[in-house]
Amino acid sequence: MAAVLSSAEAWLGPLDRARTALFVRALRIAPLRAVLVEKRRRVPALLLLHASAAFGLSVFSPTLLLVIGPLLLGVPHLLADLRYLVLRQRLGARARAWLVGGSLLLLGLRLADLAGSPALLRFELPLAALWVAGGAALGAPRLTDWRAWTIGGVACALAAVGWVTPGAVRIAMAHAHNVIAIAVWAFVFCQARRRALVVMAVLAAATLLLVLSPLAWFGFKHGLAQSFGLHVFMAADQLAPFARGAPLALGIVTSFAFLQSVHYAVWLHAIPQETTRGEGSLSFRMSLRALLRDFGPWGAALAALLVVVVPLGGLVAPLRTQSIYLSLATFHGYLELSALAFWWQGRRPCS
Among candidates 73, 5, 44, which has minimal Cα distance to 201?
Answer: 44
CA pair distance 53, 46, nearest whole angstrom: 11
Closest CA to 333 of 106, 48, 156: 106
**Domain residue ranges of the chain, discontinuous segments joined by +:** 39-343
pLDDT at 9: 65
d(CA 107, CA 327): 9
The pLDDT assigned to 140 comes to 76
Cα–Cα distance for residue pair 259/204, rounded to 1 Å: 10
Mean pLDDT in consecutive groups of 10 residues from the start of the chain, 351 residues: 60 75 76 75 90 96 96 94 88 88 94 90 92 86 76 86 90 93 90 90 96 93 91 94 89 96 95 80 75 83 90 94 94 91 69 52
d(CA 61, CA 227): 8
Residue 61 DSSP SS3: coil
Which residues, at least 6 apart from 123, have a Cβ–Cβ distance to it below 8 Å?
A: 109
Considering the entire predicted model, what is its pTM? 0.90
What pLDDT score does 2 carry? Answer: 56
Q: Quote the CA–CA distance of 182 and 264 in Å, as a whole number.
A: 10
DSSP class of 103: H
Q: Provide the pLDDT for residue 7.
A: 66
229 with 319: CB under 8 angstroms? Answer: yes
Question: In the prediction, which pLDDT does 347 show?
Answer: 57
* Residue 350 confidence (pLDDT): 59
pLDDT at 148: 79
pLDDT at res. 39? 81
Beta strands in the chain (DSSP E): 226-227, 230-231
Please state the φ and ψ torsions of residue 279, each to the nearest 5 degrees. -100, -5
Cβ 191 vs Cβ 274: under 8 Å: yes
